[in-house]
């Protein structure tokens, strides 16, 4: 093989991947210099495409490459564009497309090699052609469905949307399509897909056809071995990654979530039959009550909680902490350094001290429903299989909403908050993405983050996410105060974060559970409920674990019930958690052993 041909193959391989780096920034994909999910993938693509050309002697311009090239570029162009637009003004990082690239890249190489083998072996041509047609057809149908969904909703299809699909019957689905598209548009899309697949079939037939003289030279043994290695590598890679892209992955998450939620709901309905208030049903507050769940927030990195911190990360809360209507719980700890395990207690009557059973869950939303509040759930996190407390809170709410791009800009929750009625008595739970790693993904490019000279970039990124959460909380508070007669607002983090070990079951550090919590009580509320306001002020410096948020919210609602205990209610004069009693990790960690504390009582 001539050096000139080898050079041509290499240049074409580079161009095939470089096309993505022209398209990506044009549609809003950022962080292209990232090695793990950007440059490394491009390099792998160049190597695979170059090797396939080299071993077969067919350049990327040959017709046998075309079926794979069509789906490769169609998929990545459509998904990158739609996901970037769904991500808001600041688009998405290239990491978001990692699974798509790692699936479509081997599809490109595999379909080409099968086309090539088909041109060598007439007997195998049919079966290999059918395989290519079905594989490309499955991926193409997925793209068409994804694009159609975007045409209707202006956002990408998520696991939350898949939950709705799985809960919809065929009649409802047809009515939905007729309402949003009309049969005319639907027919055009169907015809377009049929014509597209006919085109793909034509490309496959042409690409696997023999040469002009009816024969294709059989490759030597070394090339056959290399080709076999490439095919095996492509098949293994596709088998690993294709379940992790649309539609398989949203289906997996949604199905697992629904199975768990169904079981929890069945038991939960039984629990509610035994629920009752102590002393009669309390009156609704004359305005909004909001509970905001933070994510991976370490109060040691929050200036409002840690005045010695070298940079201002909470400008709004630092200003408001001196407001008599704000109550910072300065010694808050998470009950567990994992979201699901922490929220399974924080949102429910279960805690580390009452030995409650998971099958006996009562949520704060259940309590609000029984009082008569209009209950809402707004989330910027995709549903997570196994997080039954969130499933119960979401399922029990009058209306449950997830942002169009879960995990993106937390400020998007404001769009949904502004859709809610401004009058009445709404009870609203808002779940933020907060400071979930990667920290810089939590902050839009236009936001002025934190940059401390000499501080690791990761810490700066984390502090920037803390500062942005402070801005989001400010917006939630101000809007609700100005428009919804905000009576009370509670914020708490699910767990903390360690800058080296992050959070989790293993390698425990105290930073993983040093989480924040604060409450706002309006002047009117404090005047009408002086015992609650006084109790909260008195206990603001006491130790508090976030598994007691349920009791705290019940106290604010004035809702004593058979799932509530005043000893665990930080707003109550009977609050009884002491440093000796306080624990985390379900009793494995004793809070008084935190080296940052010197409490012996």
Of the listed ranges 180-189, 193-202, 312-321, 510-519, the least confidently predicted one is 180-189
The total of structural domains in the chain comes to 2
Answer yes or no: is pLDDT of 265 > 80: no
pLDDT score, position 92: 85
Answer yes or no: is pLDDT of 340 > 50: yes
pLDDT score, position 601: 42
Is residue 59 included in any domain, yes or no?
yes
Average pLDDT of the segment spanning 419-445? 94
Average pLDDT of the segment spanning 110-136? 95
φ, ψ at 369 (rounded to 5°): -60, -45
What CATH number should be reported for the domain holding residue 580? Answer: 3.40.720.10
- Supply the range of the domain harboring residue 126: 3-246
479 and 388 both lie in a single domain: yes
| Three-state secondary structure call for residue 383 | coil
Answer yes or no: is pLDDT of 170 > 90: no
Burial of 12 (0-12, 13-18, 19+ CB in 10 A): middle
Tens digit of each residue's pLDDT (9 = 90 or more) over 457-478:
999 999 999 999 999 999 999 9
Q: Which of 549, 65, 572 is nearest to 289 (CA)?
A: 549
Q: Are 368 and 427 in contact (CB under 8 A)?
A: yes
Three-state SS sequence of 395-424:
HHCCEEEECCCCCCCHHHHHHHHCCCCCCC
pLDDT-derived band at 11 (thresholds 50, 70, 90) equals very high
Q: Are 507 and 501 in contact (CB under 8 A)?
A: yes
274 and 196 both lie in a single domain: no
Q: To the nearest whole percent, how much of the chain has pLDDT over 70?
A: 96
239 and 265 both lie in a single domain: no
Q: Which of 1, 40, 72 is nearest to 219 (CA)?
A: 1
Beta bridge partners of 518: 328, 491
Is residue 251 included in any domain, yes or no?
no
Burial of 568 (0-12, 13-18, 19+ CB in 10 A): buried
173 and 312 both lie in a single domain: no
Average pLDDT of the segment spanning 484-504? 95
Tens digit of each residue's pLDDT (9 = 90 or more) over 559-585:
999 999 999 999 999 999 999 999 999
Q: To the nearest whole percent, how much of the chain has pLDDT over 90?
A: 75
pLDDT-derived band at 1 (thresholds 50, 70, 90) equals low
pLDDT score, position 404: 86
262 and 227 both lie in a single domain: no
Averaged pLDDT of the chain: 92
Tens digit of each residue's pLDDT (9 = 90 or more) over 395-427:
899 999 999 888 889 999 999 999 999 999 999
342 and 231 both lie in a single domain: no
Whether this prediction's pTM lies above 0.75 is answered by yes
pLDDT score, position 441: 87
267 and 210 both lie in a single domain: no
pLDDT score, position 2: 82
Answer yes or no: is pLDDT of 536 > 80: yes
Is residue 252 included in any domain, yes or no?
no
DSSP state of 436: P
577 and 498 both lie in a single domain: yes
- Of 192, 221, 246, the residue that ends a domain is 246
Is residue 19 included in any domain, yes or no?
yes
pLDDT-derived band at 388 (thresholds 50, 70, 90) equals confident
Is residue 382 included in any domain, yes or no?
yes
pLDDT-derived band at 198 (thresholds 50, 70, 90) equals very high
């Amino acid at each position: 093989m001539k050096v000139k041909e080898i050079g041509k193959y290499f240049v074409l391989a580079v161009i095939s991947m470089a096309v993505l780096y022209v398209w990506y920034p044009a549609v809003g994909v950022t962080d292209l210099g990232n090695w793990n999910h950007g440059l490394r993938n491009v390099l792998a693509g160049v190597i695979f495409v170059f090797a396939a050309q080299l071993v077969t002697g067919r350049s990327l311009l040959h017709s046998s490459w075309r079926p794979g090239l069509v789906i490769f570029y169609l998929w990545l162009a459509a998904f990158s564009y739609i996901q970037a637009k769904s991500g808001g003004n600041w688009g998405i990082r290239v990491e978001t497309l990692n699974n798509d690239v790692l699936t479509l890249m081997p599809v490109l190489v595999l379909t080409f090699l099968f086309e090539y083998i088909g041109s060598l072996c007439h007997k195998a041509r049919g079966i290999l052609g059918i395989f290519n047609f079905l594989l490309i057809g499955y991926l193409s149908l997925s793209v068409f469905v994804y694009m159609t969904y975007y045409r209707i909703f202006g956002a990408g299809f998520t696991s939350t949307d898949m939950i709705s699909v799985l809960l919809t019957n065929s009649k409802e689905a047809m009515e939905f399509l007729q309402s949003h598209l009309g049969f005319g548009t639907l027919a055009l899309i169907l015809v377009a897909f049929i014509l597209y697949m006919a085109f793909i079939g034509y490309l496959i037939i042409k690409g696997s056809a023999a040469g002009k003289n009816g024969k294709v030279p059989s490759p030597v043994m070394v090339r056959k071995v290399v080709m076999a290695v490439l095919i095996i590598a492509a098949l293994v890679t596709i088998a690993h990654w294709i379940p992790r892209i649309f539609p398989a992955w949203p289906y997996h998450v949604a199905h697992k979530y629904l199975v768990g939620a169904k079981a929890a709901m069945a038991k939960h309905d039984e629990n509610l039959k035994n629920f009752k208030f102590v002393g009669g049903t309390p009156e609704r507050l004359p305005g909004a009550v909001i509970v905001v769940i933070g994510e991976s927030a370490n109060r040691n990195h929050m200036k409002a909680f840690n005045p010695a911190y070298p940079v201002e990360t909470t400008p709004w809360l630092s200003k408001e902490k001196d407001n008599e209507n704000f109550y910072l719980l300065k010694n808050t700890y998470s009950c567990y350094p994992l979201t699901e395990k922490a929220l399974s207690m924080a949102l429910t009557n279960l805690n580390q001290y009452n030995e409650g059973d998971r099958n006996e869950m009562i949520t704060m939303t259940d309590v609000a429903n029984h009082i008569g509040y209009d209950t809402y759930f707004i989330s910027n996190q995709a549903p997570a299989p196994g997080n039954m407390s969130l499933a119960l809170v979401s399922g029990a709410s009058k209306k449950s909403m997830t942002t169009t791009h879960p995990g993106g800009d937390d400020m998007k929750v404001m769009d949904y908050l502004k859709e809610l009625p401004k009058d009445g008595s709404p009870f609203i739970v808002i779940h933020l993405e907060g400071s979930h790693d990667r920290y810089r993904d939590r902050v839009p490019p236009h936001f002025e983050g934190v940059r401390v000279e000499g501080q690791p970039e990761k810490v700066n990124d984390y502090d920037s996410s803390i500062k942005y959460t402070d801005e989001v909380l400010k917006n939630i508070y101000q809007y609700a105060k100005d428009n919804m007669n905000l009576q009370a607002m509670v914020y708490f983090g699910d767990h903390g974060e360690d800058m080296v070990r992050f959070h989790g079951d293993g390698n425990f550090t105290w930073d993983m559970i040093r989480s924040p919590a604060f409450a706002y009580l309006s002047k009117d509320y404090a005047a009408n409920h002086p015992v609650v306001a006084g109790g909260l002020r008195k206990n603001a410096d006491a130790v508090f674990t976030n598994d007691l948020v349920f009791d705290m919210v019940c106290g604010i609602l004035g809702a004593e019930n058979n799932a509530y205990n005043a000893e665990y209610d930080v707003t109550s004069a009977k609050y009884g958690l002491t440093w000796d009693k306080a624990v985390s990790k379900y009793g494995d960690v004793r809070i008084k052993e935190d080296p940052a504390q010197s409490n012996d009582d």
